Amino acid sequence: MIRPILKYGDEVLHDPAREVEQVTPEIQRLIDDMVETMYAAPGIGLAATQVGIPLRIFVVDLSIGRDPAGLITMVNPVFVERSGMQLEEEGCLSVPGFNATVARPLHAVVRGLDREGHPHEVEGRDLLARAFQHEMDHLDGTLFLDRLQGIKKQMIVRRIRKQMRANRW
């Protein structure tokens, strides 16, 4: 089932998510819904908080569904390692229509549970490391806009508020 994606301004996006106590059939259905929602958007990553569920779960697929082996599911993820730095433009399904350059790690290793509840660890470089940090930020209540400063952030927030006032957000 495709779920609505929350947008910037919704308080749930700014609250840290709680750990999943057990991977149950309900959690697996949530993961299925998240994957379907991410592909429909289309996007390369989605955190449970973005669909209004404050649990520490994210899905990432750089192939956007073209490679079945490309789907990564992380339940209760933690960083094992982060190194390097990359400056690239990124966007967010919760901030549609806006992009900005954000500093992210060049390399990241994330450990968590897979959709079956088994421990696994995934290493990412470049775009995958960026996606891991982006989704982990969501689980901590941070959006990419929160990492911006100065005029760029002010411009984006002002344009979003204008869209909100016009009921187009």
79 within 8 A of 136, measured Cβ to Cβ: yes
Which of 21, 88, 123, 135 is flagged as catalytic?
135
Spatial CA neighbour of 44 closest among 69, 62, 19: 62
- Look up 135 and say whether it is catalytic: yes
Between the alpha carbon of residue 7 and those of residues 13, 113, 117, the distances in Å are: 8, 27, 29
Rg of the chain's alpha carbons, rounded to an integer? Answer: 15
132 within 8 A of 111, measured Cβ to Cβ: no
- The enclosing H or E element of 10 equals none
Instruction: Quote the tokens at residue 122.
Output: 């995934």
Q: What is the chain's length?
A: 169
Q: Which residues are catalytic?
A: 135
